[in-house]
Structure 1
Amino acid sequence: MKSKDLQNIVLSKYQNGDTPTKNFRDLNGGIGLRTIKRWCQMILQSGSITLSNPPGCPRLARTKGNIRKVKNGLRRKKKRLHHYKKVVEPLLSDDQKIKRKKFANWIRTHFRKEETMRILFSEEKFFDIDGIYNSQNDRVWAIDRADADKNGGIKQKRKFPQKVMVWLGACSKGVTSLVILDEGTVDHAVYIEKVLPVALKYGNQVFGSGLVFQQDGAKPHLHHLTQQWCRDNFPSFIGKDRWTPNSPDLNPFDYSIWDELVNIFNWNKVQSKITLIQQIKSSFKNIRESIVF
């Protein structure tokens, strides 16, 4: 109720003989007893309630003009909230953190910025015929769980699906050719015979004597014969004691290139190892340059 309405009620009731206390009780605390007594005194003196100025100290900050300015400012600066997916990063032990720091210091000490652009990163990855799916993005709209299950809400996956291993190298100039390893176990001998020559040929073509080869800590990479082959053939490479363990975030394949490749796949066409290899090869040709460079 507005103040003017309250004043009219108090005026009417007082003129009808109600005391200030009865007015206060009838209004159920809607206005203070002290204020009602002051208004009744005005009625007694002048026959009306006349307030020349609002009671209390004058407003200096909370004026109508200032309130309007603040509202307009908030309206102009209003920011929309966005949702973000959680970013997955490796959980590092204290020892791994020390090794990462040591590796970072070694890179800063021994490589100028232009030299880091000549690093040829490499990585292997298994692909199987069951494909991939993103549990965050792959949603089914339904009234309940049972209805969702009936309408594609279940992702079936074989216990031992057919799969192949793919090796790929990438640098600031582009990507190497694919090496598909689908015949048995990939040990150091297979790695030396089928993978390293591909990396060396590509690296020499694009960087020549400035090439720096990188590989992670997989067992075939750490074998002493693999390390010796790298010392004998690459102009420079990051040895087994330099690259830090549990560091997928340092390699562009893990946070960029592999995701690009598998998202190009037409998984509906993948029914066997042969069709899987066909999709790997065709999708590889469509990797966007912006992902690599």
Structure 2
Amino acid sequence: RPQWELKQRIYCVKFYYKTGSFKKTQDSFMRQFEYKKAPSKSRIQNWVNHFEKYGTVENLNAASENHPSHSGRPKKRTAELIESVRESLQQSPKRSVRKRSQSLGMSNETCRRVLVNDIRAYPYRIQTLQTLTVSDKKQRKAMAVKMLDKIEETPSFLNLLWTSDEAHFHLDGKANSKTNVFWGSSRPNEVATKPLHSPKCTVWAAISARGIIGPIFIEESGAAVTVTKERYVKVLKTFKSELQTLYRSLMSKFWFQQDGASPHTSNLSRDWLKENFGGRVISLKTNFEWAPHSPDLSPPDFFLWGYLKDRVYVEKPRTITELKEAIREEMRAITNSVCKNVMDNFVLRLKKCTELDGGHLEHML
């Protein structure tokens, strides 16, 4: 819809011819239409010039009863052509505009206009996710059903569950190839570089509806190291210590979740978890199994790591020390209310998982 209606343009042109004053035209316009703002002097002048040249203040390029298409040219996008594109789209939704236009014998631009303007179709980027086997889907659904049953039976369960994971934060962050652009009249003698082995830190954290415990850095002498079963148990001991400091009276009620990574499910780690959490462990090789290939159901994976990586690199840390401090600051800034919302979203994901029989759900959220 144009900013100024046709009757308003006509009023301005008439009043200007009557008074010869842009100021009086603007004042009269605001009184007549009860507007706080009038068309600018240049806008009124354009309407007057347009009227003197064409005898009208209408936009002659716009479609109307008198002008069925732009500038009166024959319309290329006929009903038959639109229908042929629609049928092609239904048969091959993944075909590119170039190949579709070639198969239909029309230009790329016409095909694109039909898709966007007439059919209202838009290109959606398809996510690339790990293949889920029939067995994977069964395990995911079974786990989701069991988790939902537990939440329904024990409403306090969600407030007692700690979900955990670790992630790598590289000093150079993530390279975005779309931002590596050089505008010029000739090919530049320039390349974008990145180190083969970027310095990094490995971070472990646990999140619940109560908040976050972490970050706990897995390192030796200030340098990131491989997560082994011994180092993982050391992390768990630090976690327990902080948990006892904050919630000593609830230690016998807390549940602990982890994925099936080898250091997590070693005999050493499982023995420690059994000694400290009893049967309240959700993991591979436990009575309450965490399904494999389920990062989309894990709060640290579907929320925490992506959230942090969007923020810690904003100030472009130049050293590992600066990177670690940024991680600490951003993790401390996450409020308990945000954590509660994350766990509520965890429940929604479990429900969606059951609806989809254990299939991928990220693209549906």
Residue pair 1:164, 1:181 contacting (<8 A) in 2 also: yes
Q: Which residue of 1 aligns with 2:281?
A: 237
- The answer on 1:171 being equivalent to 2:215 is no
- Inter-partner Cα distance in structure 1 for 2:176 and 2:200: 19
Per-residue deviation, 1:265: 1.6
Q: State the identity as a percent.
A: 25
- Inter-partner Cα distance in structure 1 for 2:186 and 2:136: 42
Per-residue deviation, 1:288: 5.1
Closer, same or farther in 2 for the Cα pair 1:192/1:143, shift >3 Å?
same
Query: In structure 1, which of residues 256, 261, 270 is the aligned counterpart of residue 317 of structure 2?
Result: 270
Q: Which moved more, 1:241-250 or 1:181-190?
A: 181-190
Q: 1:177-200 CA deviation, whole Å, 9 max, x = no partner?
A: 310112233211111123344146
Find the residue that maps to 1:209 and give its secondary structure.
Answer: coil
- Inter-partner Cα distance in structure 1 for 2:169 and 2:130: 21
1:1-293 residue pairs with structure 2 within 5 A?
86-87=126-127, 89-112=129-152, 113-134=155-176, 138=179, 140=181, 142=183, 146=187, 155-183=192-220, 184-199=225-240, 201-202=242-243, 205-206=246-247, 207-235=250-278, 236-241=280-285, 242-266=289-313, 269-287=316-334, 289=336, 291-293=338-340
Closer, same or farther in 2 for the Cα pair 1:205/1:140, shift >3 Å?
same
Closer, same or farther in 2 for the Cα pair 1:88/1:115, shift >3 Å?
farther
Per-residue deviation, 1:118: 2.0
Per-residue deviation, 1:139: 7.1
Find the residue that maps to 2:282 and give its secondary structure.
Answer: coil
Per-residue deviation, 1:238: 0.9
Residue identity matched to 1:240: L
Residue identity matched to 2:263: P
Where structure 1 has 5 or more consecutive residues not aligned to the other structure, the ranges are 1-79
Closer, same or farther in 2 for the Cα pair 1:144/1:99, shift >3 Å?
farther
Per-residue deviation, 1:218: 1.1
| TM-score calculated relative to the size of structure 2 | 0.50
Residue pair 1:90, 1:247 contacting (<8 A) in 2 also: no
Closer, same or farther in 2 for the Cα pair 1:144/1:232, shift >3 Å?
farther
Residue identity matched to 1:92: L
- Inter-partner Cα distance in structure 2 for 1:92 and 1:144: 48
Where structure 2 has 5 or more consecutive residues not aligned to the other structure, the ranges are 1-119, 341-365
Residue identity matched to 2:167: K
Residue pair 2:260, 2:283 contacting (<8 A) in 1 also: no
Per-residue deviation, 1:135: 5.3
Residue pair 2:209, 2:336 contacting (<8 A) in 1 also: no
Residue pair 1:257, 1:291 contacting (<8 A) in 2 also: no
Closer, same or farther in 2 for the Cα pair 1:145/1:240, shift >3 Å?
farther
Per-residue deviation, 1:246: 1.1
- Inter-partner Cα distance in structure 1 for 2:256 and 2:264: 12
Aligned length: 212
Residue pair 2:211, 2:339 contacting (<8 A) in 1 also: yes
Closer, same or farther in 2 for the Cα pair 1:215/1:202, shift >3 Å?
same
| TM-score calculated relative to the size of structure 1 | 0.61
Residue identity matched to 1:239: S
Residue pair 1:164, 1:180 contacting (<8 A) in 2 also: yes
Residue pair 2:167, 2:202 contacting (<8 A) in 1 also: yes
Residue identity matched to 1:125: A
Closer, same or farther in 2 for the Cα pair 1:109/1:287, shift >3 Å?
closer
Task: Please tell me whether Structure 1 or Structure 2 has the larger radius of gyration of its CA atoms.
Answer: 1
Per-residue deviation, 1:141: 7.8
- Inter-partner Cα distance in structure 2 for 1:84 and 1:145: 33
Residue pair 1:260, 1:291 contacting (<8 A) in 2 also: no
Quote the RMSD (CA, aligned, Å).
Answer: 3.3
- Inter-partner Cα distance in structure 2 for 1:144 and 1:199: 61
Closer, same or farther in 2 for the Cα pair 1:143/1:94, shift >3 Å?
farther
- Inter-partner Cα distance in structure 2 for 1:156 and 1:91: 32
Residue identity matched to 1:249: D
